[in-house]
């Protein structure tokens, strides 16, 4: 079954199929925002290492900068595809929140150790905002589900 709207045996739409009539959920919105941010920051050093280094400071291992950029860009694509499909499944949320928390840790620890410049604290702040957005989106969706379940009783 390769139609846009696959059906289960009960002839109901599969919940995580992309349905353009269904409004975007808070979690799908956060996926989209995080995906766009990660795509921009991931491809930036690949597109212009000179401007990247002007902002973030000189690097000695450019292959490592490229590697991290590609990995961040891949995470971005996963998040954006999930947002487009409106598939906010646990594994994708774990990837999104885990990536943000890992990058916060890297930014804060290595700035504190004076390994990387303080400009990286701006990224840590952006990642922190994403984590807060995730918490808010998950609370909103949990309350919505709770209200739906109460109305069904």
In this prediction, residue 11 carries a pLDDT of 46
Q: Show Cβ contacts of residue 131 under 8 Å, excluding neighbours closer than 6 positions.
A: 97, 100, 101, 104
Instruction: Confirm whether 50 is domain-assigned.
Output: yes
Radius of gyration of the chain (CA): 19
Q: Does residue 33 sit within a domain?
A: yes
Q: Is residue 106 part of a domain?
A: yes
Does residue 145 have a pLDDT over 80?
A: no
Residue 83 lies in a domain: yes
Q: Is the pTM of this model over 0.75?
A: yes
Residue 11 lies in a domain: no
Residue 45 contacts residue 52 (beta carbons within 8 Å): yes
Which token pair is 37? 């941010």
Q: Is residue 9 part of a domain?
A: no
Residue whose pair of structure tokens reads 């709770």 in the numeric block: 146
Number of domains composing the chain: 1
Residue 136 belongs to a domain: yes
pLDDT value at 14 more than 50? no
Q: Is 86 inside a domain boundary?
A: yes
Q: Is pLDDT at 8 greater than 90 in this prediction?
A: no
Average pLDDT score over residue span 137-149: 85
Question: What does the buried/exposed string (b/e) look like for 61-85 if buried means 16 or more CB atoms within 10 Å of the residue's CB?
Answer: eeeebeeebeebbebbebbbebbeb
Mean per-residue pLDDT of the chain: 88
- Domain of residue 116, residue span: 26-148
Within the chain, residue ranges assigned H as helices are 26-47, 49-56, 62-85, 90-112, 120-152
């Amino acid at each position: 079954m390769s139609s846009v709207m696959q059906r289960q045996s009960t002839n109901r739409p599969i919940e995580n199929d992309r349905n353009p009539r269904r409004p975007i959920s808070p979690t799908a919105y956060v996926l989209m925002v995080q995906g766009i941010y990660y795509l921009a920051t991931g491809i930036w050093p690949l597109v212009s290492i000179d401007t990247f280094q002007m902002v973030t400071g000189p690097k000695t291992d450019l292959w490592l900068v490229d590697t991290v950029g590609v990995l961040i860009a891949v995470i971005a694509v996963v998040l954006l595809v999930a947002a487009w499909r409106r598939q906010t499944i646990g594994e994708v949320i774990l990837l999104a929140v885990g990536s943000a928390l890992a990058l916060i840790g890297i930014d804060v620890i290595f700035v504190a150790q004076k390994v990387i410049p303080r400009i990286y604290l701006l990224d840590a702040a952006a990642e922190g905002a994403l984590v807060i957005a995730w918490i808010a989106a998950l609370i909103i969706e949990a309350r919505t589900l709770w209200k739906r379940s109460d109305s069904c009783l």
